Amino acid sequence: MKKKRIIVLIGSLLLILGVVGVVYFFTRDFSAGESSTPPKTESELLEEKGVVLVNAENFVTNANSLLQKGYSADEVNQIYEYMSEANIESILASDYVDLSEFYMISNFEFAKIERYQAYQELKQIEMKDAVTQVNLNLDEPFYQTIETIEAPSSVTVLVNKSHALPSDYVPDDLVSIPSYPNLLIKEEAATPFENLLAAAKLDNITLIPYSTYRSYAKQKSIYNRYLNQDPKEVVDTYSARPGHSEHQTGLALDIRSTTLSDRLTDSDYAWVLDNSYKYGFIVRYPKDNSTITGYQEEPWHLRYIGVEHATKVHELGITYDEYYDLYLTNR
């Protein structure tokens, strides 16, 4: 009897514990005491995909847009590391394009990508060279695309067959070369040119300037005179059309040796090539570069661009056209 009472008691206790357990299970607050994990931000999600975050306007939105277009995280990273803002805008506005050839080309312009590719295939040259040459419109006939120069008085102004000076432009700071008072040049180039002449004298070389500033009208007269003796396509290889002559800037001048008319001796030319940059001048139309400049070699034609730029052009061994596109063009 006693044993039976104990069994009943144990059973009752177990029943009570079971009921308590069930009530607790269904009434307890499961959220209490548990740590809630906040959702990940879009930036964190991009990082998980391998995109390096950049402090740029609308970066998250734009990066996601590029990923949706099919660019990989690595491509997105390279676009933001190497591409200009203008290029990024163009890339965002276009479908996916393989840009692997262009990330390291600083003067790349997305809008010209098809021209770059076509020209590179045609010429079988390195893509970086194709980019520069297309930027100079060398994939087109000379004088086909012409831009009017907005800052003609700049010491670094680029004047060539694609960049024309206004017909009414006359430098407002023309001065006479001290030792040649009948010849005019921009003031900032006058003293450097005198210093160049003096340095040449120390090496027993006499250089004589004979053509400096020319007006638009003067260049037009010269060009038309040449047309009376040669076909236009020939004249264009040695004379600039009006508006396209560096002489109109007041920053260019022609020099000759004492022993030759309108020419330099080989030794004098060698000296000019080795020393003119020290005074801010370059030989504007060097040998073997007519496909770039559009002109035959002109050892006698000097252009003032300042010592800093002239030194870089000399060290790089490139034309001023190429230098201007690579280092002086805002993109």
- Catalytic site positions: 298
Specify whether the CB–CB gap between 154 and 251 falls below 8 A.
no
- Tell me the CA end-to-end span of the chain in Å, nearest whole number: 103
- Say what the alpha-carbon torsion angle 166, 168, 169, 173 is, to the nearest 10 degrees: 180
* HEC readout, the chain: CHHHHHHHHHHHHHHHHHHHHHHHHHHCCCCCCCCCCCCCCHHHHHHHCCCCCCCCCCHHHHHHHHHHHCCCHHHHHHHHHHCCHHHHHHHHCCCCCCCCCCCCCCCCCHHHHHHHHHHHHHHCCCHHHHHHHHHCCCCCCCCCCCEECCCCCCCCCCCECCEECCCCCCCCCEEEECCEEEEEEEHHHHHHHHHHHHHHHHCCCCEEEEECCCCHHHHHHHHHHHHCCCCHHHHCCCCCCCCCCHHHHCCEEEEEECCCCCCCCHHHHHHHHHHHHHHCEEEEECCCCHHHHCCCCEEEEEEECCHHHHHHHHHHCCCHHHHHHHHHCCC
